[in-house]
């Protein structure tokens, strides 16, 4: 009998670990060769290949834009080895202390144990406005 793989579990675990800023746990959850695509226009947006690039290049620079950022999941849609997460980034920007609540869509791929791909979709103009201190 074949074992059923839970492709959603790593994606759901990502948000739990992000909420408590468990960077060691997040790195362990991330495949060494992850394909991590952050929307152009988002802080430090671009294409990061590999866990080292994600945690050593992307996060340290991107996180300078916010004082606090919590990804809140609103809906999780299983799609085979993919998991689509609709949610919101809720937080406060670092320089201007402007609050934000901006919708996102994440499309994750996993092997059932680790995350192998992320594609982020977000209205980067709204996020950029909040970082600049322009409230809704």
Q: Where are the domains of the chain?
A: 8-131
DSSP string, 69-108: EEEEEEEEEEETTEEEEEEEEEEEETTT--EEEEEEEEEE
Q: What is the pTM of this model?
A: 0.92
Domain 8-131 is found in CATH 3.30.2350.10: no
The 10s digit of each residue's pLDDT in 98-130 is 899 999 999 999 999 999 999 999 999 988 888
The 10s digit of each residue's pLDDT in 2-54 is 578 899 999 999 999 999 999 999 999 999 999 999 999 999 999 999 999 99
Q: Are 30 and 51 contacting, i.e. CB atoms less than 8 angstroms apart?
A: yes
Report how far residue 48's alpha carbon sits from residue 131's, in angstroms, rounded to the nearest whole number.
22
Nearest residue to 2 via CA among 112, 110, 77: 112
């Amino acid at each position: 009998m074949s074992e059923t793989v839970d492709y959603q579990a790593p994606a759901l675990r990502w948000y739990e670990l992000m909420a408590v800023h468990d960077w060691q746990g997040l790195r362990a959850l991330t495949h060494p060769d992850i394909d991590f695509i952050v929307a152009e226009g988002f802080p430090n947006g671009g294409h990061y290949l590999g866990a080292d690039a994600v945690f050593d290049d992307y996060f340290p620079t991107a996180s300078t834009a916010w004082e606090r950022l919590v990804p809140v999941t609103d809906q999780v849609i299983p799609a085979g080895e993919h998991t689509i997460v609709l949610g919101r980034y809720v937080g406060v920007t670092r320089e201007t202390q402007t609050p934000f609540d901006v919708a996102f869509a994440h499309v994750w791929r996993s092997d059932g144990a680790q995350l192998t791909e992320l594609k982020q979709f977000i209205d980067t103009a709204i996020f950029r406005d909040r970082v600049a201190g322009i409230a809704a």
